[in-house]
A and B are shown apart, each in its own frame.
Chain A
């Protein structure tokens, strides 16, 4: 891998470094798992990912500031 690509990886890792080693390790594990993937996800893996996305809707990090207006109802 080229030096430029390794530097780009390190740049991506920097925020996780300054926040804490556990966050850095979690990010490395995600990257490692993704890098080892060589085939398409199974239906179960797809469903698990979608479920994880819907779970994040309950995560307070994703809640807007109080007073944010509700979106219009979908057509």
Chain B
């Protein structure tokens, strides 16, 4: 299982070249298409741009851990503990128990919906706070995925 996360050097070199090309295309897309349409709230658009990427990031890092939980529990306990923190069941806004990270994403969605209904300063602040907290969590998850998936050398 470890070999899955120890990339082939040739593949990595090729993939970095591909990633560099794609990053350039994406960067150009971000520069060209970052204007918010008139009538749309920039805060809502930024939150909605962030939500699918955050969901994908959390799914990815949990998938890495799930591939061999015993291995990560033994060899990278802090990483496994972080993943278990994301998975801890907590009540969702509708009361059903869901993984903590899903509850946080649903909470962000609820605050966004409340803000869309009533664009008061209070709702704006609440949405921005939740967005900031989720951004920090997603950055943490991305940092962990960098640490555990970079190839090792022997």
Interface string of B18-36 (1 = CB under 8 A from A): 1110111111111101111
Which label, helix, strand, loop or mixed, suits the secondary structure of the A interface?
helix
For the complex, give the distance between the alpha carbons of A21 and B59 in Å: 17
CB neighbours of A17 from chain B (8 A): 7, 12, 15-16, 19
For the complex, give the distance between the alpha carbons of A60 and B118 in Å: 37
Check B89 against A64 for contact (C-beta < 8 Å).
Answer: yes
Does B71 touch A at the CB level, under 8 Å?
A: no
Check A40 against B98 for contact (C-beta < 8 Å).
Answer: no
CB neighbours of A65 from chain B (8 A): 69, 84, 87
Instruction: List residues of B (64-85) whose CB comes within 8 Å of A's CBs.
Output: 64-66, 69, 84
CB neighbours of B149 from chain A (8 A): 14-15, 18-19
For the complex, give the distance between the alpha carbons of A39 and B51 in Å: 14
Check A34 against B49 for contact (C-beta < 8 Å).
Answer: yes
Interface string of B38-55 (1 = CB under 8 A from A): 011100110011111101
> What distance in Å separates the Cβ of A43 from its nearest Cβ neighbour in chain B?
9
For the complex, give the distance between the alpha carbons of A62 and B104 in Å: 13
Check A18 against B91 for contact (C-beta < 8 Å).
Answer: no
Check B18 against A21 for contact (C-beta < 8 Å).
Answer: yes
Check A57 against B102 for contact (C-beta < 8 Å).
Answer: yes
> What distance in Å separates the Cβ of B3 from its nearest Cβ neighbour in chain A?
12
> What distance in Å separates the Cβ of B97 from its nearest Cβ neighbour in chain A?
5
> What distance in Å separates the Cβ of A14 from its nearest Cβ neighbour in chain B?
6
Partner of B37, one of A12, A13, A39, A50: A39
Interface residues of B (CB under 8 A from A): 4-5, 7, 12, 15-16, 18-20, 22-31, 33-37, 39-41, 44-45, 48-53, 55-56, 59-66, 69, 84, 86-91, 95, 97-99, 101-102, 105-106, 109, 113, 116, 142, 145-146, 148-151
Interface residues of A (CB under 8 A from B): 1, 5-6, 9-19, 21, 23-24, 26-28, 30-41, 46, 49-50, 52-54, 56-57, 59-65, 68, 70-71, 73-74
8 pairs across A/B with beta carbons < 8 Å?
A: A18-B7, A24-B15, A27-B60, A31-B26, A35-B29, A36-B29, A50-B106, A50-B109
